[in-house]
Amino acid sequence: MIITLVPKSLSKTGTVFQYLSPAQECNLCNLKNVCHNLKPGAYYTVRKSREKEHNCFIHEDGKVTTVEVEETERNLMIPKNSAKEGARITYRKPDCDDTDCPLALECILSFARDHSKIKINSVHSTKCPRGLDLIEALIE
């Protein structure tokens, strides 16, 4: 379990969010090491929200809440020829622009960064409905 700080809007138990990176303004804050103790690009689930709030000059309501989080797996469409359980691959976004696709959130609209390293935990049977050589996988 990791203790961190998140905006109040993300502090409900069960909320899933992606940590991207610190804002430049965070360098001036005494709490930056608690807010930014997560892996960039990783997804987290809030497991417990605590009562303690702190002032924050970059978030909308001016407050952050103390929460307990854990890293969360997520589904992503990956090239079929790379889809092997336990493999670590370099992710490349598919060459597609169909935002109406039923799997767009696991594919072109995911927050996975192009050329990032990912670990494949398991491979599902769901294939690309648009005919690209992609398959759905659960990744870290």
pLDDT value for 111: 73
Residue-wise pLDDT for 35-55, tens only, equals 999 988 788 999 999 999 999
Residue 67 has pLDDT above 80, yes or no: yes
pLDDT mean over 1-10: 94
pLDDT value for 83: 93
Rg of the chain, C-alpha, whole Å: 17
Which among 139, 73, 135 has a CA at the least distance from the CA of 103? 135
What's the chain look like in SS3?
A: CEEEEEEHHHCCCCCEEECCCCCHHHHHCCCHHHHCCCCCCCEEEEEEEEEEEEECCCCCCCEEEEEEEEECCEEEEEEHHHCCCCCEEECCCCCCCCCCCCCHHHCCCCCCCCCCEEEEEEEEEEECCCCCCEEEEEEC
